Structure 1
């Protein structure tokens, strides 16, 4: 097996798939298993990833943790609520729309508070007006 060639082929597929998954309107958790299933290489990427160093490096930089996924949903929920009604960005509405459980990590809780404050203080108005909304 030419692992160098296999690494480049897999890396190309992985890049395209990760880009596609982040662009999906309905959020999905972009982790190794999800990407591997999408490209039909679950066994290869779970068992032999060490033989694919470029692909592994790309994974390390572009996959998200559970906390990062929750924060991405928080930001989306805040934007959506703000676009519907600027005064409607409240903690319970963001939690519900983002699908957050009652107990989340300190990092996620802090991100939730900070994101809501930005919208409540009106600091996100300029960014929202010029932002591309996927």
Structure 2
């Protein structure tokens, strides 16, 4: 699975899971620093967007199997809710495809640090799907 170039800038890595979209991890480093000791909100939003894209690519691959070229996805809108400050530790994120239609997909993504049940941010995203 290929990640967008922005993922490299954020230092994002993938942790594959059997039959599911991978979980992403972003290390804490100076490149993602906001106020001292905390993640920048843009870095958190970027992590969530990449998690959503990865989960949607995974769902499209599962749906289409090996037939034909992959679909192109285009973001329509993104809403991010910041719940608590991201501290100076690794941050994890996961995307969840809530609806995969023929032309539109709805995806949610959550980011957490120590405990998945205590997210630091949540996003809802809608994508236009251009199938070749």
Shared fold (TM-score, shorter chain, > 0.5)? no
Q: Using CA pairs below 8 Å that are at least 6 residues apart, which structure has the higher relative contact order?
A: 2
**Which structure is higher in strand share?**
2
**Which structure is higher in helix share?**
1
Under a length normalisation based on structure 1, what TM-score does the superposition of the two structures give?
Answer: 0.29
Under a length normalisation based on structure 2, what TM-score does the superposition of the two structures give?
Answer: 0.29
